[in-house]
Amino acid sequence: MPETLEPIEDPRRELEAIRSLMERAREYRHPPVPAALIAAVAAIAGGVATDRALAAGAPDLRALAALWAGVFAVAFVAVVVFTSRAARREGKAFWSPLAKDVIHALWPSLVAAAALTAALARAGRLELVAPVWLLAYGVGGVAAGTFASPIVRRLGVAFLAAGLADLALALPPGLVLAGTFGGLHLVYAAVLAVRPGER
């Protein structure tokens, strides 16, 4: 009795599946919801404290620098801890060549923001620090979005837009930082909580 031949799969479907797998392999996972929430709360606290310090007049620049170094440290640790946990659950390496690509996409904007902050502080132009941070973070987010899911790029674009708006409107710096680094990360966390598969 002749053998029954298996039906040949649609090669186009197989190519689509292969392409999808390759794209996923080159896509860095975005920071999980808990990391975004912790970063948001830290930024809101930092923004409120900054607003009070500026309202009191003649703020201590070293104290403000220490405050925001603390905010950055809390956010950074949260991202590392929760992203590494998620990677372990999925059986993936946290520090991969792709993770290095993301870091290389981010660090130039962070260095530029730090250098410009120091220059603006020396010049007494503290009102420009917030828009510089927003623009730098937005540039970093768009650059990192090359390797991450589109929600990271959208977050970067939102920060760019906020930075441009702040330059035009000259809003209170502390409240701007609380509303953007705090508020936009809350929105980001909410979107991922409602739609965990958001891409």
- Tell me the pLDDT tens digit for each residue of 116-173: 999 999 999 989 999 999 999 999 999 988 887 788 899 999 999 999 999 999 999 9
Domain presence at residue 9? no
Domain presence at residue 16? no
Domain presence at residue 3? no
Domain presence at residue 10? no
Count the neighbouring beta carbons within 10 Å of the beta carbon of residue 97: 8
Domain presence at residue 11? no
Q: Are 137 and 152 contacting, i.e. CB atoms less than 8 angstroms apart? A: no
Q: What amino acid occupies position 189?
A: A
pLDDT of residue 198: 59
- Residue ranges making up the domain that contains 38: 31-194
pLDDT of residue 25: 45
Give the pLDDT band (50/70/90) at residue 24. Answer: very low
Residue with the bigger pLDDT between 60 and 136: it is 136
Domain presence at residue 8? no
The CB-side HSE value for 79 (13 A sphere, CA atoms) comes to 17
Give the pLDDT band (50/70/90) at residue 13. Answer: low
pLDDT of residue 22: 44
Q: Residue 79 is encoded by which pair of tokens? A: 């991202």
Q: Residue 179 is encoded by which pair of tokens? A: 């509303």
pTM for this prediction: 0.81
Lowest mean pLDDT among 34-43, 56-65, 86-95: 86-95
State the chain's mean pLDDT as an integer. Answer: 85
Rounded distance between C-alpha atoms, residue 40 and residue 38, angstroms: 5
Rounded distance between C-alpha atoms, residue 73 and residue 17, angstroms: 40
Q: Which residues pair with 148 in a beta bridge?
A: 28
Rounded distance between C-alpha atoms, residue 28 and residue 47, angstroms: 29
Domain presence at residue 181? yes
- Number of domains forming the structure of the chain: 1
Alpha carbon of 168 to those of 28, 47, 180: distances in Å?
Answer: 34, 20, 16
pLDDT of residue 65: 93
Q: Residue 155 is encoded by which pair of tokens? A: 């977050």
